[in-house]
Amino acid sequence: MSLVVVGSVAYDGVETPHGRVERMLGGACTYISLAASYFTRTAIVAVVGDDFCPQDEEFLASRGIDLTGLERAPGKTFFWSGVYSEDMNERTTLRTDLNVFANFNPKLPEDYRNYPYLFLGNIQPALQRSVRAQMNGLRLVGGDTMNYWISNARDELLAALREWDCLLINDGEARQLSGHYNLRRAAETILDMGPHTLIVKRGEYGAILFRRDGHFVAPAYLLDKVLDPTGAGDSFAGGFFGYLAGCNIDLREDRADPRELRRAVIYGSVMGSFCCEQFGVERFRTLTRAEIDERFEEFQKFTGF
Amino acid sequence: MSLVVVGSVAYDGVETPHGRVERMLGGACTYISLAASYFTRTAIVAVVGDDFCPQDEEFLASRGIDLTGLERAPGKTFFWSGVYSEDMNERTTLRTDLNVFANFNPKLPEDYRNYPYLFLGNIQPALQRSVRAQMNGLRLVGGDTMNYWISNARDELLAALREWDCLLINDGEARQLSGHYNLRRAAETILDMGPHTLIVKRGEYGAILFRRDGHFVAPAYLLDKVLDPTGAGDSFAGGFFGYLAGCNIDLREDRADPRELRRAVIYGSVMGSFCCEQFGVERFRTLTRAEIDERFEEFQKFTGF
């Protein structure tokens, strides 16, 4: 089946204890669609400037990603740069130049509108709603958000959430959105906001899937070297949602196969782990589906009892 | 089979966001032995002052714990007090009065010396060595330590570690002891120091078991209310080691059944979770083995895929 991904395509500057890259392909939509492309036909909606490199476009196309919805606008591509702490658990943003992204008003190509799966990367909740409204007959819609929108566009975000099946956020965001520190209580509150499925990402500790009928705790893969964690959360989202779309899985109440849903979470964790092995999107240039499935099996080995 | 536990029996004063207790039974040896007592015959070696309450002694005895090695010395029992942060991930020590513990020089009752299992709670590494030397024909010896000994008694600690099968420490201590931030690398370094089995405790994120032949990632139980995390790590150790002793499991290379070893880790996580449900040791006053096994089964449900 087919998945539409909306979000930022950007250039990033990143410094970690293992090195520094001045400018490389990045952005939520980039990571989500690259990860999803291993599992399902993936089409993106995003905007780039006239500085966007043909090589980067070719790379996305080489992964089979449909770029019909990749708008080119006069000006520069969204640029972000940041530096990670020694333990890589914290990062400081050095620069955020929205550039052409400031006027992003996603319009879906006609072809996209009947796709059954939609993932809304972290952008303004009003834009997420507008994309959602352009789709016909969705089977599943999921999305991400961030602390900024939780604080500054709360009503719009809550309106968006009411229309989603699935929300993927990190633990800090879940606490902020719900007002509860305890994750079980946070999840209960968020499941009352609309989504029937919540994934709380916990970085190096993995992720938890929450639904009304229970939860599933998935670990992260223990890498022996994390080069650059940028994009790991988005790669998780791409693996998770890509797997659901690829297997044509329906998550609505009573229709979900819990086993498939859990497999999707593990594939999310697998894709997040690969992302960290190299800077930016580099790992996706060589990664194969066979390597992905091998790591999935490793997860079974180091978690079973 | 039978387990000897050495460590502190203390009184604690604890404040968490959910309440405050001025003085209650605590100490590593107390939590370890209480948790272990659900799985195996447990005998303790510790020292208390003449202020130690008969009711506390009766409570330990009521769990079947052998108190022959509980020495009474003139003076006061070890007292510790601390306050937890709002999210309970950090705690500040307010007071540490070693009292009779300052001159603790553990002497094992004759009866204990042929016990096959020994767990050395966090005390001076030199004392841990002296206890180890008093035992005959041990099948398995495990222990805990802390940042203070890693910094201030490193050589003595390294000498102790060379004689242990199993080390249980938290992630911060593993990083400090090994000099590696990455846990996989930290574990490799620590496994070169002597123990063939390492458990790295990660608080609310669970624990990882490392051996030369691989690792096992165990989550923590998602409690909907953590009243007081004091003693959770020691309860983990008691559940883990108590299960191994109770099932007469040998962990030495090539003899360990990996399945039983993983079950032991999960029982550790189960006991740590119960400990947090009430202040101090309160939960152990009512906890039953049936509840423990029920929670073990819950772990299978929320981790399987």
The amino acid present at A265, given as its one-letter code, is V
Q: What is the DSSP letter of A66?
A: E
Question: Across chain B, how many H-helices and E-strands are there?
Answer: 10, 13
CA dihedral A261, A266, A271, A275 (to 10 degrees): 140
From chain B, the residues in CB contact with A185 under 8 A are 224
Q: Convert the pLDDT of each residue in B91-137 to its tens digit.
A: 999 999 999 999 999 999 999 999 999 999 999 999 999 999 999 98
Q: What percent of chain B has pLDDT over 70?
A: 99
Identify the three-state secondary structure at position A257.
coil
Residue of A10 and B88 predicted with greater confidence: A10
**For B36-51, what is each residue's pLDDT tens digit?**
999 999 999 999 999 9
pLDDT of residue B258: 85
Provide the pLDDT for residue A89: 83
In A, residues 181-210, which contact B (CB 8 Å cutoff)? Answer: 181-185, 202, 205-206, 208
CATH topology of domain A2-298: UDP-N-acetylmuramoyl-L-alanine:D-glutamate ligase (3.40.1190)
Q: What is the ipTM of this complex?
A: 0.93
Q: Measure the CA–CA gap between A147 and A174, rounded to whole angstroms.
A: 9
In angstroms, the Cα distances linking B113 to A151, B242, B248 are 62, 18, 17
Q: Which residues of B touch A302 (CB under 8 A)?
A: 214-217
Q: Residues of A with CB below 8 A from B305's CB?
A: 216, 218, 259, 262-263, 265-266, 300, 303
| Predicted local distance difference test score (pLDDT) of residue B252 | 76
Q: Where are the domains of chain A?
A: 2-298
Q: Do B302 and A87 touch (CB under 8 A)?
A: no
pLDDT tops 80 at residue B1: no
Contact: B182, A226; criterion CB under 8 Å: yes
CA dihedral B227, B232, B238, B243 (to 10 degrees): 80
DSSP class of residue A203 equals G
Give the number of beta-carbon pairs within 8 Å between A and B. 73
Q: Is the pLDDT of residue B251 over 90?
A: no
Chain A residue with Cα closest to B266: A305
Residue B72 DSSP code: E
Residue A253: predicted pLDDT: 65
Task: Give the pLDDT confidence score for residue B301 in this predicted structure.
Answer: 95
What distance in Å separates the CA atoms of residue A165 and residue A143, rounded to the nearest whole number?
9
pLDDT classification of B253: cutoffs 50, 70, 90:
low
CB contact under 8 Å between B303 and A300, yes or no, is: no
**Is A18 near chain B, with CB under 8 Å?**
no
pLDDT at B291 over 70: yes
Q: Do B301 and A214 touch (CB under 8 A)?
A: yes
Regions of chain A where pLDDT drops below 50: none
Q: Does the global pTM surpass 0.90?
A: yes
pLDDT, residue A254, reads 66
Please write the tens of the pLDDT for every residue from B179-206.
Answer: 999 999 999 999 999 999 999 999 999 9
- Averaged confidence pLDDT in chain B: 96
* Whether residue B231 has pLDDT greater than 80: yes
- The confidence band for B10, taking pLDDT boundaries of 50, 70 and 90, is very high
Nearest CA in chain B to A215: B302
Using the beta-carbon criterion (under 8 Å), do A183 and B300 form an inter-chain contact?
Answer: no
Nearest Cα residue to B152 out of B173, B124, B128: B124
Distances in whole angstroms, Cα of residue A109 to Cα of each of A43, A47, A64, A129, B225 = 10, 13, 17, 16, 48
Q: What pLDDT does residue B216 have?
A: 97
Tell me the per-residue pLDDT of A283-304, one tens digit each, with 9 for 90 and over: 999 999 999 999 999 999 999 9
Q: Is the pLDDT of residue B290 over 70?
A: yes
Say whether pLDDT at B254 is over 70: no
CATH of domain B2-303: 3.40.1190.20
pLDDT tens profile B134-151: 999 899 999 999 999 999
